[in-house]
C-alpha cells in the first residue's frame, strides 16, 4: 500500500486563512490515509502474532514461580515478554499454545499453563525412578481469548520444578 501526502506551496504572505487552509488539507489527507489502512485490513487486530522461546539454561523453579523463557527465537507482534515470561493477547481470537519440558534424571517437574491466573493446561514428569534417563513431556491447547488476556507457564506442584534449558520451550500463535 502506498500512502501519499502533498506539500502545498503558497505564493502569498502567510496569514491565518492560508495557514488554516493548509492545516485542514493535511488533516483531511491524514484521515483518508488512516481510513485506507484500516479498510485494507492492516489494523492491529489482523497483524500476525506468533512466538517461540526456550530457556537459555537449566533452572530450578519453586512452587508457583512463573517460568521465563529468555531465549526468544520468534516474536512476531512482540506479544511475548522475555523478561516476565508472559504473553499478552493483542486481539480477541483463537490461539494455540504449545510447551515442553525436559527433566533431569532423578528430578520432577509440573508445568501448567495459566490464563489470567487460572490453570488451563498441565504436564507433569516424575523422573525419580532411576535409570539415568531424561524424560520429556509436552502439551498443546487451543483457546479462545480476549484482547489483553495474560498467558504464562508456572510450576503448580508442591515440589520445585527442574527444567533443562534449550529443551524446555513455550510457543504460541494466533489462529484467527
Q: How far apart are CA 127 and CA 106, in angstroms?
A: 5
Helix boundaries (H) for the chain: 16-39
Local confidence band at 6 (pLDDT 50, 70, 90 cut-offs): very low
Higher local confidence (pLDDT), 63 or 36: 63
pLDDT confidence tier of residue 7, bands split at 50, 70 and 90 = very low
pLDDT at 140: 95
CB 90 within 8 A of CB 79: yes
Q: What is the mean pLDDT of residues 63-67?
A: 87
Q: Which of 40-54, 77-91, 109-123 has the lowest mean pLDDT?
A: 40-54
- pLDDT higher than threshold 80 for residue 37: no
Model confidence at 175: pLDDT above 70 = yes
pLDDT of res. 100: 92
| pLDDT tops 80 at residue 30 | no
Its pTM stands at 0.73
Of 54, 57, 50, 89, residue with least CA distance to 69: 54
Amino acid at each position: 500500500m502506498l500512502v501519499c501526502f502533498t506539500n502545498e506551496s503558497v505564493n502569498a504572505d502567510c496569514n491565518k486563512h492560508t495557514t488554516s487552509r493548509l492545516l485542514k488539507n493535511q488533516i483531511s489527507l491524514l484521515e483518508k490515509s488512516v481510513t485506507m489502512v484500516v479498510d485494507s485490513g492492516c489494523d492491529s487486530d489482523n497483524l500476525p502474532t506468533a512466538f517461540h522461546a526456550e530457556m537459555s539454561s537449566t533452572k530450578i523453579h519453586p512452587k508457583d514461580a512463573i517460568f521465563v523463557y529468555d531465549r526468544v527465537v520468534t516474536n512476531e507482534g512482540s506479544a511475548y515478554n522475555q523478561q516476565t515470561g508472559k504473553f499478552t493477547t493483542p486481539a480477541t481470537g483463537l490461539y494455540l499454545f504449545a510447551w515442553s519440558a525436559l527433566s533431569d534424571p532423578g528430578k520432577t517437574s509440573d508445568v501448567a499453563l495459566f490464563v489470567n491466573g487460572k490453570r488451563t493446561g498441565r504436564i507433569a514428569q516424575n523422573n525419580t525412578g532411576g535409570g539415568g534417563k531424561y524424560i520429556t513431556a509436552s502439551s498443546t491447547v487451543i483457546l479462545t481469548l480476549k484482547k489483553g488476556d495474560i498467558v504464562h507457564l508456572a510450576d503448580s506442584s508442591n515440589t520445585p520444578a527442574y527444567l533443562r534449558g534449550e529443551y524446555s520451550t513455550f510457543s504460541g500463535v494466533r489462529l484467527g
